[in-house]
Structure 1
Amino acid sequence: MNFADYWAVVDEELAAIPGRPVVDLVPQRVTAEATSYTVRLTSTGPYRVFGHLSIPTGDGPFPALLQTPRYGSVNHVPHPNDRSRYVVLGLMHRGQRLADEGFSAAYPGLLTMGIDDPASYIYRGIAADCLRAAEFLMSLSEVDPARVAVSGDDLAVLTAARRPGFSAVRVTELLFYRAMEARLRSSHYPLEELNDYLRAGSSPEIVDNTIAYFDPARHAPAVTGRSLVAVEDPDWCASLIEALPAADVYQLTHLDGTDNDFLDAWLSELSGVPPLSRFITT
C-alpha cells in the first residue's frame, strides 16, 4: 500500500469510531491558575486512551498545546507553567500507564511490536491515538483555533501534517527519522531495539518498509504552521528541516535551563503568552 493510501485508511477508521470523550475533574489538581481534568477517548481498535487536560482560569479562548507521548511507560502531568497559559492536553497512548487496560506496552520491545507488517505495526494505532487527541483538543470551546500547537517527537510532525489547524509544531526528539541509519550510530535504546530485532532474524528491508510510513520528513510537507526543530545535530536533520515549510532550528546545548527557556520562549511568542522559565534565576 502506498503512503497516501495507508494514512487515508487510518483516517477512515477513526472517522467511523466516535471519540466518546469522558472528562472528569481532578479536584486535588485545581489551582488558582488552572483547572485540571482526566480525559478518556476512543481511538482505533477500538481502544480507550487517556489524557491529562488543563484549562487556564479566566476568560478564553486560550492558546492550546497538545503534548504527544514520549517513548516510555509513563508520561507526566503537564508542567504548571504550561497549565497556566495553555489549554494543554498531555496524551498517554495505548499501552502506556493509565492507558494500559488490556494491553501494557513493553519497554524495550514496543518499537518493534508488529513491525514486520505495516498494517499490524503498533505505531499505526499510536499515531491514530494522537490524531484522535488532536481532534478532541481542537473541538473544545475554550481553545482559540488560531493558536493551537503540538509538541513532541516525530508524532508531533505526523499529527500536525494529518490534522490541519496547528499553528506551531515544536519537535524536541526524533525516533523514526533516518532510523535505519541512526541505529548504526549508537547502541542506545530505543533504537537498539531495531538492532536486537534484526539480530533475531528479521529482514532489514521489511523493517525499513514499515518505518518509512512514519518518517517525519515524508509527513513534513503537509505541515501548515511554523515549526521548530530542536536537535543536537542540525546537519543530520537537514532533510527534515528542508521538508518543513516554515522551520526554525535550535541546536540543543543539553543545559536544561538554556534549552527549556528557548523552547518555551519560541512557543510563547507564537501563542501570544508570556514566556516562563522553569528555573530560578538570580
Structure 2
Amino acid sequence: MPLTDLSLADCRDYRPPLPVPADFDDFWSRTLDEAGDRTQQKPVFTEVETGLTQVRTYDVTVPGFAGQPVRGWLRMPAGAGEPLGCVVEFLGYGRGRGLSHENLLWASAGYAHLLMDTRGQGWSAAGGDTPDSDAGAAGVVPGFLTRGIESPETYYYRRLFTDAVRCVEAMRRHPEVDPDRIVVTGVSQGGGVALAVSGLVPGLAGVMPDVPFLCDFPRATRISGRPPFTEIAEYLRLHRDRTEAVFTTLSYFDAALLATRATAPALFSIAMMDEICPPSTCFSAYNNYAGPKDVRIYAFNGHEGGAEYQQREQLAWVRSLFAGPPAGRAGHS
C-alpha cells in the first residue's frame, strides 16, 4: 500500500491547533465526579475455571458510567506473592472481551492484566458482554462514532472514557495490585482510550497507545477514506447544517487534546501506511503528549502496526518501567 499522508519528517513537526472548549477541564471533572457519586457499588471479581494452571482468571464487573456494569477479564499469574504491576487494556473498534482463556501475554509476563469490555461493541470475532444502556435509538449512520454526537453530554465516548477511568480505579484498589504500577494500553480505539485515560487519571506508571484512533478529529475526518472515521463524514453528508456542532462535540473527546494533560511516560507506535488512523493524526497526539515519550515507527505497515514486534518492545519497556521493589500502597484511596 502506498503512503497516503504526510512524510515522516512532516509528521514529526505536525502540531495542529486543536480547539479547546472553554469548559473542557470542568466537563471532564464533573463527568468523573458524577460517575463516582452515582453508585456505591464495588467491583466484583469472580474466579473462573479455564483449565489453565499458571494463570488465574476472574470474571470482572466494574460499575462504570452512571454505575452501569462493565465487564472484563482479570488475569493474574498463579502463585504471585507480592503486589503486582498491572496492565489495563482497552479494545479496538468492534471488539469485545472474548473468552476467558484468551489474551495471556501480560499475565504470562508476571503482571495483573485487566481487559475491559467495550460497551455495546463486540460484533467482531471477540464477542462482548457489556450493553450500552444509554444508547437510545440508533442513528442514521451505523456504528458508534456518531452515537449521541448532538451533545457532549450524550456522546458515546463520554460513557466509554468514563468506563475506562473506573476500571483503572478498580485496579488501584485491588488488594493484589500495586496502585503505583499501573500501565494503560490498547490498539486503535483502545489506544485512543488509553490516551484519554492518561489525561484524566493522574499518577499512572505508563501509557502504551498503538496506532491510536480518536485523534485529531478535524483532519482524520477529512483524509481517512476507510471506516470508522468515515462514519462522521457520512453523518455530515446527510446533516449539512450540523458541521460546527459536531466538531464542537468531538473536541471534548479528542485523544490528542487529552494527551496534553498527560504526565506518565508513554511508548507510542505509529504505522506510516495506516489508512484507518492516518499517521499524521497519531503524531498530533504524540507531538502534543505532555509527559515523557518515545515512539516506534513502522514505515511499511498499515493499521496492523507493529503487532508482535511492538509487543516485544512493550514487554521490555514495561519491565524497565517496573524495575525495583514494589512501591507500596501509599498515596491512593
Q: TM-score, normalised by structure 1?
A: 0.87
Paired with 1:114 and 1:74, the residues of 2 have a C-alpha distance of: 21
Amino acid at match of 1:247: K
Paired with 1:268 and 1:95, the residues of 2 have a C-alpha distance of: 34
Residue in 1 that maps onto 2:72: 51
Gap runs ≥5 in structure 1:
274-282
Amino acid at match of 1:65: V
Q: Does 1:268 align with 2:299?
A: no
Paired with 1:168 and 1:240, the residues of 2 have a C-alpha distance of: 15
SS at 1:6 equivalent? helix
Residue in 2 that maps onto 1:218: 257
Paired with 2:93 and 2:64, the residues of 1 have a C-alpha distance of: 19
| Match runs of 1:1-282 below 5 Å | 2-16=23-37, 17-28=39-50, 31-57=52-78, 58-76=80-98, 79-84=103-108, 85-96=110-121, 97-100=128-131, 108-152=142-186, 153-202=191-240, 203-233=242-272, 236-244=281-289, 245-252=291-298, 253=301, 254=305, 256-272=307-323
Asked if 2 retains the 8 angstrom alpha-carbon contact of 1:19 and 1:43, the reply is no
Deviates more, 1:37-46 or 1:101-110: 101-110
Asked if 1 retains the 8 angstrom alpha-carbon contact of 2:267 and 2:295, the reply is yes
Deviation at 1:13, TM superposition (A): 0.9
Gap runs ≥5 in structure 2:
1-21, 122-127, 273-278, 325-333
Deviation at 1:207, TM superposition (A): 1.3
Paired with 1:239 and 1:81, the residues of 2 have a C-alpha distance of: 29
SS at 2:145 equivalent? helix
By relative contact order (CA 8 Å, sep 6+), the higher-ranking structure is 2
SS at 1:112 equivalent? coil
Deviates more, 1:33-42 or 1:68-77: 68-77
Amino acid at match of 2:297: Q
Aligned residues: 272
Runs of 4+ in 1 over 3 A off after TM superposition: 75-78, 101-108, 233-239, 253-257
Paired with 1:99 and 1:217, the residues of 2 have a C-alpha distance of: 27
Deviation at 1:259, TM superposition (A): 3.0
Asked if 2 retains the 8 angstrom alpha-carbon contact of 1:108 and 1:189, the reply is no
Q: TM-score, normalised by structure 2?
A: 0.75
Taking only aligned residues, the RMSD between alpha carbons, in angstroms, comes to 2.4
Deviation at 1:117, TM superposition (A): 0.8
Deviation at 1:104, TM superposition (A): 7.8
Deviation at 1:257, TM superposition (A): 3.6
Amino acid at match of 1:213: Y
Deviation at 1:235, TM superposition (A): 5.4
1:77-128: CA deviations, max 9, x gaps? 5622212221110001322321127578989421110101111111111111
SS at 1:184 equivalent? helix
1:181-202: CA deviations, max 9, x gaps? 1122222111111111111115
Deviation at 1:23, TM superposition (A): 1.5
Paired with 1:238 and 1:95, the residues of 2 have a C-alpha distance of: 29
Paired with 1:102 and 1:63, the residues of 2 have a C-alpha distance of: 32
Paired with 2:320 and 2:54, the residues of 1 have a C-alpha distance of: 20
| CA 1:94–1:19: 2 relative to 1, 3 Å | farther
| CA 1:255–1:63: 2 relative to 1, 3 Å | closer
| CA 1:235–1:46: 2 relative to 1, 3 Å | closer
| CA 1:65–1:256: 2 relative to 1, 3 Å | closer
Asked if 1 retains the 8 angstrom alpha-carbon contact of 2:269 and 2:297, the reply is yes
Paired with 1:131 and 1:180, the residues of 2 have a C-alpha distance of: 25
Asked if 2 retains the 8 angstrom alpha-carbon contact of 1:94 and 1:103, the reply is no
Paired with 2:314 and 2:88, the residues of 1 have a C-alpha distance of: 15
